[in-house]
Amino acid sequence: AVGVWLFGGKIYEGNPALHGTPFAEAEYWSNNFNDFASGLVVLFELAVVNNWQVVVSGFIAATTQWHRIYFIAFYLIGVITMLNVVVAFVIDAFDVEQ
């Protein structure tokens, strides 16, 4: 919901701010926060670290450098922390079986 609020409507084909960026060259136009479902896809791509630098560069070019904080926070909270919690549960489940 925060991504839709911050970036909704900023990414579209023909946006002059994106001209010449790696985002536009890769034609990642469907990677946007224009609706909630598209936002989930973008966050999933960022979670699996799929060309994250290209995706983030497009959003930064379309908005401001301060919006980089959103992506850093998502990586720190969503990827690193949650991945460690999931791994801890898996290890604990295997430990209980033994």
d(CA 41, CA 58): 15
What is the value of pTM for the model shown?
A: 0.79
Q: Looking at residue 40, what is its pLDDT?
A: 93
pLDDT band at 35 (very low <50, low <70, confident <90, very high): very high
pLDDT in tens, 45-91: 888 878 889 999 999 999 999 999 999 999 998 888 888 999 999 99
- Identify the CA nearest to 8 among candidates 79, 51, 72, 70: 70
Query: 95 is written with which tokens?
Result: 């430990």
Query: 36 is written with which tokens?
Result: 């909630």
Q: Looking at residue 98, what is its pLDDT?
A: 66
Q: Is the four-CA dihedral 25, 30, 33, 34 of positive or negative sign?
A: positive
Cβ atoms of 70 and 78 within 8 Å: the answer is no
